[in-house]
Amino acid sequence: MNNIIIKNAAQVVTCSGFEGKRGAEMSNLHVIENGTVIVTDGIISHVLKKGEAIPIDVSGYKEIDATGKALLPGFVDPHTHFVFGGHREEEFSWRMRGDSYMSIMERGGGIVNTTKATREASEEELYNSAKRRLDDMLELGITTVEGKSGYGLDKDTEMKQLRVMRKLNEDHPMDIVSTFMGPHATPAEWKGREDEFIDFNINEMLPLVAKEKLAECADIFCEENVFTIEQSRRFLTAAREHGFLLKLHADEIVQFGGAELAGELKVLSADHLLQASDEGIKAMADNGVVATLLPLTAFSLKEEYARGRDMIDANCIVALATDLNPGSSHTASAPLLFAIACIYMNLSPEEAVTAYTINSAAAVNRADTVGSIDVGKQGDMILLKYPSYKFLPYYVGMNCVETVIKKGLVVKS
């Protein structure tokens, strides 16, 4: 039985809500001092304030005394590429000597390098390495994660990546939201035939992935020298016709119009956005697009951070994600994510918590089931070693998650 009662938490940081929050709403965490939360059959059944009587018989429930500790929703990471083969530590050293991300891509590095290693890896090898990454993320309080394909760039390997994610979703405590990202880059065999590669993804891959029910979302890398606005529009429009929710890598390297396209198509989320224009920010805010920011990528690439403060002030729904991948962000460090978001992107601790809970849940279409401590939602929660959520950015780069609860079960303590 997934029954648990967490009593006397110094703070129950509920992040209460069933949809993404925007603007000033992001600062309201709906904190309950000295609260108690009850999970029954894996679902949150009661959220009680100090002094409220426990209304049900909890004699058979696992009990946790959370005195002096803060209780939060489990973190939701809405943008990762956690299934891949090989590593790119050599390219990291090239970047440290000043080589640009795009110049490394042009000489066979970057995504295409990982594509070769992922094609060569067996399904079992990919499963085992991805499982280890999920284990590490769970230790940091991440209880739901999005994973993208896109390191196959051919039929067999893309399907292999997605099958690994489906199996891990069945086997691992974490919930996995799968995204098909066939147009992540143009592989060598399609160079110079980018339009035909988009046709291949539209005509062959989207119907196959939809038939096998291997992904909920579809994504494309809309960027100069990768895929154009028109190619991205064509792919995403076709993906929507097959029932996929839409995501978009937008305006990462140059100001390209990706955020404007995201608004035009009313996609679920637009991600990266380092170079998003004022017009693009407005288009996202006006059309309910979640602006998913990836500060660990900017940190690793030594780029300027996305204008998260401006986006919040423009009434955007802002989420945070780690972008765990083998190249531009080889980390899933939630602690570092919080520190950078607050110290360098000028988000308040409250906004950062909202961005990595209820808003990141909205970025993967899960705000109705996870991302907050509300009656009726999954019992996904984390208990900190400290009495306040403000320790998340303050305890810089250090993990202050003591206990992780998934669907009412303690999965890490």
Domain ranges of the chain: 4-73+372-412, 76-362
> CA quadruple 250, 252, 253, 259: dihedral positive or negative?
positive
CB 338 within 8 A of CB 352: yes
Distance CA 333, CA 210 (A): 32
CB 38 within 8 A of CB 11: no
Distance CA 58, CA 37 (A): 12
How long is the chain? 413
Predicted local confidence at residue 112, as pLDDT: 80
| 3-class secondary-structure state, position 347 | coil
How buried is residue 346: exposed, middle or buried, by Cβ count under 10 Å (0-12/13-18/19+)? Answer: middle
Nearest to 114 by CA among 85, 148, 94, 150: 85
CATH number of 4-73+372-412: 2.30.40.10
Residue 218 structure tokens: 């579809």
Residue 409 structure tokens: 């079960």
Integer-rounded Cα radius of gyration of the chain: 21
Residue 267 structure tokens: 């996609």
Q: Rounded to the nearest 5°, which phi and psi values hold at 71? A: -110, 130
- pTM equals 0.97
Distance CA 256, CA 213 (A): 32
Nearest to 252 by CA among 282, 284, 220: 220
Mean pLDDT by 10 residues, the chain (413 residues): 95 98 97 98 98 96 98 99 93 85 77 91 98 98 98 98 98 98 95 97 98 98 96 98 98 96 98 98 98 97 96 98 96 98 98 99 98 98 98 97 98 95
> CA quadruple 358, 272, 24, 348: dihedral positive or negative?
positive
> CA quadruple 80, 83, 84, 87: dihedral positive or negative?
positive
Nearest to 278 by CA among 305, 291, 259: 259
CATH 3.20.20.140 for domain 76-362, yes or no, is yes
168 membership: H or E segment, kind and range: helix 155-171
**How many Cα atoms are found within 13 Å in the side-chain-facing hemisphere of 65?**
1
How buried is residue 413: exposed, middle or buried, by Cβ count under 10 Å (0-12/13-18/19+)? Answer: exposed
Distance CA 118, CA 111 (A): 10
